[in-house]
Amino acid sequence: MSVQTWTYILVGLTFALYIGIAIYSRAGSTKDFYVAGGGVSPLANGMATAADWMSAASFISMAGIISFAGYDGSVYLMGWTGGYVLLALLLAPYLRKFGKFTVPDFIGDRYYSKTARIVAVICALIVSFTYVAGQMRGVGVVFSRFLQVDIDTGVIIGMIIVLFYAVLGGMKGITYTQVAQYCVLIFAFMVPAIFISIQMTGNPIPQLGMGSTLNDGSGIFLLDKLDGLSTELGFNEYTDGSKSVTDVFAITLALMVGTAGLPHVIVRFFTVKKVKDARKSAGLALLLIAILYTTAPAVSVFAKTNLINTVSNEEYSSMPVWFKNWEETGLLSFDDKNEDGKIQYVADKTKNELTIDNDIMVLANPEIANLPAWVIALVAAGGLAAALSTAAGLLLVISASVSHDLVKKVFKPNISDKAELWVARGAATVAVVIAGYFGINPPGFVAAVVALAFGLAAASFFPAIVLGIFYKKMNKEGAISGMVVGIILMLFYMTKFKFGWFGGGTPDDWWFGISPEGFGSIAMIANFIVAIIVLQFTPEPPEDVQEIVENIRIPSGAGEATGH
């Protein structure tokens, strides 16, 4: 059977499964819609969190980015997993004990202020919209390459599927579809990785294969081989980076803290029964994420070595079929500058003839390694699962921010449960349409703004929540001014160095040598400092708020999540 047929079968089957689950687990109340009724088991929540977290970026792009960045790519590996330690130790158990529906709920109640709640809602909306646009685009790319429909049609198909189960099932539908999506995506990621690891090193475990010797009888370690190939072509050694230590440090920290502060990840911990379950499911989530995150750097090494071996100094006319296929999508291009008919892939930009998009490394990897058709099709289904699961989680945050935090808590406190549920569904629908629009007409700044999303979460939510739990005397004046300063500082730095506003600047002008991607860590520190200074000059929080803080520190008696 051809790749195309296999893809139709696998994608069709998985989509049917998601829709089936959605119909089976419809939401009947706002509690079902926001927190899946609050009775999700730690394992199911762990799987759902893992699928929620691992987006098209983790599945499709990350291994590719690492294969071109080498050691520098470690910032994503450590940053996007280390954040879970912060989440498990500093946030999840206490927020579960607090027992409300959303992150702005916590900020609003803990800081006894509508202003704080609204600032939190705005942050949640900016972060989530940025993210969701990227997911829709990912859906479109997978459809266009594997099912030969154009990207726009792909985005629309994706929209309809997400709309169906997010709007119908809310958090309840999303949770159980995410469990299924985790299984699909992890299987789809691991199968090709294991195949290629055996092919190249004879070791079936990719994590070990990465550090093994090559299978060709030379006895050379794979990583040494790749270091050699890279320097030969004029690149840095693969295992050495080109970024400064300060910048690597700052980016890693910003990504970790940003991860812990992302609302769509935090809300997943409101869905379990007890505080104990929240801790356990954070551990399970990271374990399940780590399976992909420790395999990805191995895939990067395999793919990069394979790629160089296949194309470097070879005749263009002798390139395999996949080369032509990917050239058609525009993700791969060859420009024969010295007209010798061979492909020169080198670091020197004036001589380099091959341009490769990061995303190809995972999507084309099975083809480059000549794996069977069903494995190639599986990657398509996996990429879709990763993109759809994250998109659904984000849409839920968006709809809950509107229906619960704005309509119910600010504008119309006496709205009935039924009516609120309909507002939530309406908000989710509008959000899907906006996300789809950005997926079809991607603004050029999407990539830049994704980094901004992490920076924003790091600069706003993380300090406010941590201080809210660990510093009983923290008051609303401190928390609000901290959040506002953090966000504004982050926005200023990003727009200055990414879009050239406020006089722009080059990497030489970076403060402390820190790139915009890493600046979230500085903005976060500024947030903490401002909050603590303002606190010194403003009144203590009221007695009942201090009691709330004492209460969330004790794990027992969590009761059920409630919106009232």
Partner 1 sequence: MSEKQKKATAYWKENVRYLFILLAIWFVVSFGAGILFKEALDTIKIGGFKLGFWFAQQGSIYVFVILIFVYVRLMNKLDKKYGYNE
**Beta bridge partners of residue 174, listed in sequence order:** none
Q: Which of residues 70-89 bind partner 1 (CB under 8 A)?
A: 71, 73-74, 77-78, 81-82, 84-85, 88-89
Does the footprint of partner 1 cover residue 68 (CB under 8 A)?
no
The C-alpha atoms of residue 277 and residue 445 are separated, in whole angstroms, by: 39
The C-alpha atoms of residue 168 and residue 556 are separated, in whole angstroms, by: 33
CB of 546 to partner 1, least distance (A): 12
Q: Enter the tokens of residue 35.
A: 């927190």
Does the footprint of partner 1 cover residue 211 (CB under 8 A)?
yes
Indicate the residue among 228 and 443 with the shorter CB distance to partner 1.
Answer: 228
Q: Which of 554, 83, 480, 515 is nearest to 289 (CA)?
A: 83
Does the footprint of partner 1 cover residue 280 (CB under 8 A)?
yes
Q: Which of 279, 284, 257 is nearest to 82 (CA)?
A: 257
On whether the CB atoms of residues 106 and 98 are closer than 8 A, the answer is yes
CB of 252 to partner 1, least distance (A): 7
CA atoms within 13 A on the CB side of 149: 15
Q: Which stretch binds partner 1 (CB under 8 A): 136-144, 321-329, 426-434, 547-555?
A: 547-555
CB of 364 to partner 1, least distance (A): 22
Does the footprint of partner 1 cover residue 354 (CB under 8 A)?
no
Q: Which stretch binds partner 1 (CB under 8 A): 12-20, 164-172, 242-250, 480-488?
A: 242-250
Q: Which of 49, 40, 25, 42 is nearest to 392 (CA)?
A: 49
Does the footprint of partner 1 cover residue 556 (CB under 8 A)?
yes
Does the footprint of partner 1 cover residue 160 (CB under 8 A)?
no
* Chain centroid offset of residue 295 CA: 17
CB of 113 to partner 1, least distance (A): 25
On whether the CB atoms of residues 143 and 153 are closer than 8 A, the answer is yes
Percent of residues in the chain assigned helix, strand, coil, to nearest 5: 75, 0, 25
User: Among 93, 140, 169, 173, which residue interacts with partner 1 (rule: CB under 8 A)?
Assistant: 93
Indicate the residue among 414 and 556 with the shorter CB distance to partner 1.
Answer: 556
The C-alpha atoms of residue 104 and residue 127 are separated, in whole angstroms, by: 13
**Per-residue contact flags (x/-) with partner 1 for residues 464 to 483, judged by CB under 8 A:** ------x-------------
CB of 96 to partner 1, least distance (A): 13
On whether the CB atoms of residues 383 and 172 are closer than 8 A, the answer is no
> What are φ and ψ of residue 560, in 5° steps?
-100, 150
CB neighbours of 383 closer than 8 A, spacing ≥ 6?
56, 59, 60, 138, 142, 185, 188, 362, 363
Q: Which stretch binds partner 1 (CB under 8 A): 127-135, 144-152, 273-281, 405-413?
A: 273-281
Q: Enter the tokens of residue 362.
A: 């995972």
Indicate the residue among 13 and 89 with the shorter CB distance to partner 1.
Answer: 89
Does the footprint of partner 1 cover residue 39 (CB under 8 A)?
no
CB of 502 to partner 1, least distance (A): 30
Q: Which stretch binds partner 1 (CB under 8 A): 33-41, 279-287, 405-413, 436-444?
A: 279-287
Q: Which of residues 180-209 bind partner 1 (CB under 8 A)?
A: 207
Q: Which stretch binds partner 1 (CB under 8 A): 30-38, 211-219, 425-433, 508-516?
A: 211-219
Indicate the residue among 102 and 201 with the shorter CB distance to partner 1.
Answer: 201
CB of 310 to partner 1, least distance (A): 22
- Looking at residue 543, its amino acid is E
Indicate the residue among 284 and 432 with the shorter CB distance to partner 1.
Answer: 284
Does the footprint of partner 1 cover residue 553 (CB under 8 A)?
yes
- Looking at residue 42, its amino acid is P
CB of 476 to partner 1, least distance (A): 23
Does the footprint of partner 1 cover residue 13 (CB under 8 A)?
no
How far, CA to CA in Å, does 231 sit from each of 227, 300, 352? 6, 17, 15
Q: Which stretch binds partner 1 (CB under 8 A): 111-119, 122-130, 250-258, 417-425?
A: 250-258
User: What angle, rounded to 10 degrees, do the helices at 520-536 and 245-260 form?
Assistant: 60
Indicate the residue among 201 and 401 with the shorter CB distance to partner 1.
Answer: 201
CA atoms within 13 A on the CB side of 244: 11
Q: Enter the tokens of residue 424.
A: 């939530």
Cα 271–Cα 274–Cα 276 angle in degrees, nearest 5:
115
**Per-residue contact flags (x/-) with partner 1 for residues 288 to 327, judged by CB under 8 A:** --x--xx--x------------------------------
The C-alpha atoms of residue 59 and residue 385 are separated, in whole angstroms, by: 9
User: Among 283, 426, 442, 513, which residue interacts with partner 1 (rule: CB under 8 A)?
Assistant: 283
On whether the CB atoms of residues 561 and 100 are closer than 8 A, the answer is yes
On whether the CB atoms of residues 357 and 331 are closer than 8 A, the answer is yes
Does the footprint of partner 1 cover residue 216 (CB under 8 A)?
no
Residues that bind partner 1 (CB under 8 A): 66, 71, 73-74, 77-78, 81-82, 84-85, 88-90, 93, 207, 210-213, 221-224, 239, 245, 248-249, 252-253, 256, 274, 276, 279-280, 282-283, 286-287, 290, 293-294, 297, 470, 550, 553-557
